Amino acid sequence: MKDFETIFFIVLTILCYLGAKKLYSKFTYALLIPIVTSTSVIILFLVNFHLSYKNYILGGKWINMLLGPAVVSFAYPLFEHRATLKKHSLSILISVFAGTTIGLFSGVYFSIWFGLKEVIMLSLAAKSVTTPLAMGITSIIGGIPSLTVVYVMVAGISGSMFGPILLSLFKIDHPVVIGLSYGIASHGVGTAKAAEYGKIEQAISSIAMTLSAILASLLIPFLMHLIGK
């Protein structure tokens, strides 16, 4: 029975995503990005048939295992556009430092301002880091990794949904700026969105996501120690 459930939920997830992707190709509205629509359909399916997350993860965990290799695959566009990266290296480094620092401090200090529990603050600290690293960082500083995943998804999805609106509002069309914006603010999901603009945007977003994750992994324990004092 477990084997059947495993295969069923793997197939369900893939079909939902492919269907959502086809829908988005026809109707490119912000609310219809594939990760939102496919996730919503799966949640509705589970609720309607009274199935728990424990049932779903039998198949979902196999797809989740591909997350790491998927992130590593972003290295290919980096190699293709290494000349562009080198040309804009200083701008990239400054932007990553500024964006990562602001994202980190805003999340932590808003938690303190709203009087949230310490464990929630610790779980929220790594919200702007790609999921595999965010879970590892949260475990080290004493937060709840599963809660961090939710915050990471919210950051990634909201960035992908509202990013185009903000970029259009401020008339931003430079590929480096677009890539940096998505990579720093919305990590993996944002990089997938940046790929819709072009390969340069995807490459810049990939390096921004990677550098942001490295910087955050160094800053977060230091910041938590500082706050603890």
Helices 2-26 & 53-64 angle (0-180, nearest 10) = 70
pLDDT at 228 (0 to 100): 60
- In sequence order, the 6+-apart residues with CB closer than 8 A to the CB of 10 are 59, 60, 62, 63
Q: How far from the centroid of its chain's Cα atoms is residue 3's Cα?
A: 30
End-to-end CA distance of the chain: 52
pLDDT at 36 (0 to 100): 85
pLDDT at 1 (0 to 100): 63
- In sequence order, the 6+-apart residues with CB closer than 8 A to the CB of 58 are 2, 5, 6, 9
pLDDT at 154 (0 to 100): 87
What is the chain's pLDDT, residue by residue, as a tens digit (229 residues)?
A: 677 888 899 999 999 999 999 998 888 777 788 888 998 999 999 999 999 888 898 888 888 788 777 777 777 777 888 888 889 999 999 999 999 998 888 888 888 888 888 888 888 888 878 877 888 888 888 888 888 888 888 888 898 889 998 999 999 999 999 999 999 999 888 988 998 899 899 889 989 998 998 898 888 888 777 776 4
pLDDT at 58 (0 to 100): 85
With 0.75 as the threshold, say if the pTM is over it.
yes
pLDDT at 97 (0 to 100): 94
pLDDT at 229 (0 to 100): 47
CA distances from 24 to 31, 63, 157, 168 (A): 9, 21, 14, 19
